[in-house]
Amino acid sequence: MIERRAITWLGAALLFAALAIVMGWPLVRHAGSMAAQHQDVFFNMWRLRWVAHALATSPAHLFDANIFYPEKDTLAYSDAMLFEGVIAAPFSRFNPVLVHNVMMLLPMAASGVAMFAFAWYLTGSRGAGAIAGIAFAFAPFRFEHIMHMELQWTVWMPAAFLALHRLFDGGRWRDGLAVGAAISLQMLSCIYYGIFLGMLLGTAASLLIFYDRRAGWRTVLPPLAAGVAIALVITLLYSLPYRRVHALVGDRPIDEVHTFSAQPANYLVAPPGNWLYGNAARPGRAERRLYPGAIVTLLALAGLLLQRPTPRQLTYLLVLALAFDMSLGYGGVTYPVLARFVGAFRSLRALARLGIFVVMFLSVLAAYGYATLVRSVRPRVRVLICTCLMAGMLAEYRTTFNVVEFPSAPPPLYRILARQPEGVVAELPVPAVERLGFDSRPAYLSTFHWFATVNGYSGNYPPSYLARMDRLRGFPDERSLRQLRRDSVRYVILHTAEYEPEKLQSIRGQLLGGGMVELGKFDDGEAGAFLYTIR
């Protein structure tokens, strides 16, 4: 029996690893040089490398990252991806693009295995587990967010629900502690998902503990309370720098929440690169393409309509509806109430990211649907049906996405800068307010010298940074030079690609007569840049 289970686990791991390679093939084919075409790839690599650097040099200052100088807690202006950073830290000296792509595909496979285990436990069917795992690991949502590393790390979501069911069935302490560990790891992997998981798991637990519990109250409650306590302590400690940042930046603007919340029709829209359903002529709004797939939806309906639903099925139907409603933001019923009374929800911008929970709960219902359909079918026919459904789902989910080259080694400019005495860096020109989201490259390239930089890129921006950028846009006027000196900037980089030739020549002339020393022009990986030091 143990040997058979081991073979099943090995087979599931190999299956989902192979499928992750096939479905994410562009990242595999160009693993060491290319990644998805998006500025967040630079940000992902910076976060992974910063966590490794901070843990090796000054763990006490982990959140005082080298961007947005001289601000503190700068890692907390976005999701720190602390778990991912710790996992990737031993490989920080490897090719950063390769490490990035592995860390992007690994959670797809791991999430598929975790969902397989969850659905297998609920239904007793390995085929149901495989179908649920494919839906959860490779639904279009994954490729909509192929540039958002933290949104791929969903392995702890089905693990938390699996531990909850095992606790209610057996009352073992290890399962109660596993619930807390899974919530904590999800929070450390992705704060959005950690908050959503706590809400939805709590709702499911409140229902299941009354209608689907085999162990007695006295057996279940102590380990559950211990698991919840673990999750609360870790979450509260992790939230400290984020609370300090929130005191500076405040809640997310309501219009921003509206922009990144779902609308019901968005669940019928697939990414434009989807082979079957994508429409490049009508791509839809980014982060709001949430189509879960036809096969998984039909299987879920079959499980609910072909037999009387069990309490577990009804529970997952209810939390699916709750996740769907929450994803609508202020357009739904639940989120306005949560935003009023729970401060953490007011810091979230993209409620449409709850779409992955809709996919997960739909996958659970689909697993029940598959198990119902094949209950009386002979084993060989069952294997054929399962194989055909899996092939159909993979065809539904197949999505192409663009990959572009990213520097895996420092351009000469940054190698030369790394050999200079340590000092604060400013890279110019600074972006306009409407282009703040396109300034992630300097953050990543700073990982090759690790000097503090006044530049930065994140999900939020310090008010001081926005004011600083405003003063630096007139560079090299007196106002901008005063700001550079006030910030103790030692090195100024002028990227020639961003200037007209005449303008660049004029700036160089002013700088040479204004207390700066030109160290030369060097390759910055694009069109070249001039490096200056301030006397």
Please check whether residues 381 and 503 belong to one and the same domain. no
Query: What pLDDT is recorded for position 2?
Result: 65
| H and E: helices and strands count for the chain | 22, 6
Query: If pLDDT is split at 50, 70 and 90, which confidence band does 492 have?
Result: very high
DSSP state of 1: -
- For 305-320, b/e burial (b = at least 16 CB within 10 A) is eeeebeebbbbbbebb
Instruction: Please provide the distance, in angstroms rounded to a whole number, between the alpha carbons at the two ends of the chain.
Output: 74
Least confident stretch, 156-160, 309-313, 431-435, 481-485: 431-435
Distance CA 415, CA 405 (A): 19
Q: Residues 357-373: what's their mean pLDDT?
A: 97
Domain shared by 197 and 322, yes or no? yes
The pLDDT assigned to 335 comes to 96
pLDDT of residue 510: 87
Q: Which two tokens stand for residue 291?
A: 């189509």
Residue 336 half-sphere exposure toward CB, CA atoms < 13 A: 5
Q: pLDDT class for 4, splitting at 50, 70, 90?
A: confident
Residue 356 lies in a domain: yes
Domain boundary among 357, 375, 403: 403
Strand positions, DSSP E, 116-174 = none
For residue 287, the SS3 value is: coil
Q: What angle do CA 165, 168, 169 make, to 5 degrees?
A: 85
Return the ∠ at Cα 144 (arms to 142 and 145), rounded to 5°. 70
Q: Count the domains in the chain.
A: 2
User: Which strand (E) or helix (H) includes residue 341?
Assistant: helix 334-341
- What is the average pLDDT score of the chain? 94
What is the C-alpha separation between 508 and 153, in angstroms, rounded?
47
Please report, as a single letter, which amino acid is at residue 232: L
Instruction: Supply the DSSP symbol for 285.
Output: -
| CATH number of the structural domain spanning residue 443 | 3.40.50
Name the domain boundary from 380, 403, 426.
Answer: 403
pTM of the predicted structure, to 2 decimals: 0.95
Pair 345, 424 in one domain: no
**Does residue 44 lie in a domain region?**
no
385 and 493 fall within a common domain: no
Classify residue 43: in a domain, yes or no. Answer: no
How large is the average pLDDT for residues 162-168?
96
Q: Say what the pLDDT of residue 1 is.
A: 62
Q: Are residues 240 and 320 in the same domain?
A: yes
Specify the pLDDT at position 282: 87
Token pair of 392, please?
Answer: 């159909």
Q: Judge whether 530 and 508 are in contact, CB under 8 Å.
A: yes
State mean pLDDT over 420-447: 87
Same domain, 114 and 231: yes
Q: Given this model, what pLDDT does residue 55 score?
A: 97
* 387/422 same-domain check: no
Q: Which of 3-7, 137-141, 159-163, 396-400 has the lowest mean pLDDT?
A: 3-7
Do both 196 and 335 map to the same domain? yes
Question: If you average pLDDT over residues 230-255, what whole number do you get?
Answer: 95
Asked if residue 192 and residue 132 are part of one domain, the reply reads: yes
Q: State residue 437's pLDDT score.
A: 64
Q: Do 146 and 187 touch, CB atoms closer than 8 A?
A: no
Sole residue written with tokens 């306005």: 336
* Residue 199 confidence (pLDDT): 96
Tokens 């300090």 correspond to 244
Q: Is 80 exceeded by the pLDDT of residue 371?
A: yes
Spatial CB neighbours of 398, under 8 Å, sequence gap ≥ 6? 23, 274, 275, 276
According to the model, what pLDDT value does residue 184 have? 98
Residues with Cβ within 8 Å of 240's Cβ and at least 6 positions away in sequence, in order, are none
User: pLDDT-based confidence at 516, cuts 50/70/90?
Assistant: confident
pLDDT tens, position by position, 105-116: 999 999 999 999
| Structural domain includes residue 390 | yes
Q: What is the pLDDT of residues 128-157, one digit of tens each?
A: 999 999 999 999 999 999 999 999 999 999
Answer with the residue of higher pLDDT: 526 or 47: 47
Percentage of residues of the chain with pLDDT beyond 70? 99
- Based on the fold, state whether residues 385 and 430 are members of the same structural domain: no
Task: Quick: pLDDT tens for 38-65.
Answer: 999 999 999 999 999 999 999 999 999 9
List the structure tokens of 486: 């006030």
What's residue 438's pLDDT? 65
129 in any annotated domain: yes
List CB contacts of 250: < 8 A, sequence separation 6 or more. Answer: none
Shared-domain flag, residues 399 and 447: no
Q: For residue 67, is it within any domain?
A: no
pLDDT tier for residue 250 given thresholds of 50, 70 and 90: very high
Q: Domain boundary at 384, 403, 422, which?
A: 403
For residues 403-410, give the mean pLDDT.
Answer: 95
Asked whether residue 84 is assigned to any structural domain, the reply reads no
Nearest of 446, 404, 402, 448 to residue 426 by alpha carbon: 446
Q: How confident is the model at residue 293 (pLDDT cuts 50, 70, 90)?
A: very high
Share of the chain above pLDDT 90, in %: 86
Q: Is the pLDDT of residue 511 over 90?
A: no
The answer to whether 428 touches 472, Cβ cutoff 8 Å, is yes
Q: At what angle do helices 463-472 and 478-486 cross, to 10 degrees?
A: 140
491 strand-pairing partners: 425, 533
More confident residue, 273 or 280: 273
Structural domain boundaries enclosing 495: 412-534
pLDDT of residue 432: 78
Q: What is the dihedral of CA 138, 140, 142, 145, to 10 degrees?
A: 170
* Beta strands per DSSP E along 3-70: 34-36
Q: Are residues 218 and 242 in the same domain?
A: yes
32 falls within a domain:
no
Nearest of 421, 265, 292 to residue 358 by alpha carbon: 292
| Token digits of residue 351 | 């409620």
